[in-house]
Amino acid sequence: MSDNKKQTSKKVAHLAAESLHDPKASAIKKKLAGSALSQSHTSKQTGAHMEHVAGEVLHSTKYSKETKELAASVLAQSTKDRKPK
């Protein structure tokens, strides 16, 4: 796998931190927030499982705009050379 040149933006990192501290945030929102924060100021990239989760969130109508924003950030940082299963 190649290094990821993309990083979580300050705006999304702030949203992610707020989400992790919000007791009312859903489990999926917190999971995406943790993934987004782990990719802030690092070359880490999204793993296959989180890539799938983020894709599912983006295709669903039941998630909030903020949750979808986190999902989009996580998905944008996935590797391009992953082979489909």
Statement: residue 85 has pLDDT above 80: no
Domain count, the chain: 1
Reported pTM = 0.84
What are the C-alpha distances in Å from 48 to residues 33, 42, 44, 56, 80?
16, 18, 13, 12, 11
Residue at 46 is within a domain: yes
Residue at 61 is within a domain: yes
Summarize pLDDT for 24-36 with one digit per residue, the tens.
999 999 999 999 9
Residue at 23 is within a domain: yes
Residue at 85 is within a domain: no
**Whole-number Å distance between alpha carbons of 81 and 28:** 26
Summarize pLDDT for 54-79 with one digit per residue, the tens.
999 999 999 999 999 999 999 988 87
Residue at 50 is within a domain: yes
Residue at 84 is within a domain: no
Residue at 21 is within a domain: yes
DSSP 24: T
Residue at 17 is within a domain: yes
The answer to whether residues 25 and 42 touch, using CB atoms and an 8 Å cutoff, is no
- Which domain range does residue 14 map to? 10-76
Of the candidates 10, 3, 85, 12, the one whose C-alpha atom is nearest the C-alpha of residue 43 is: 3
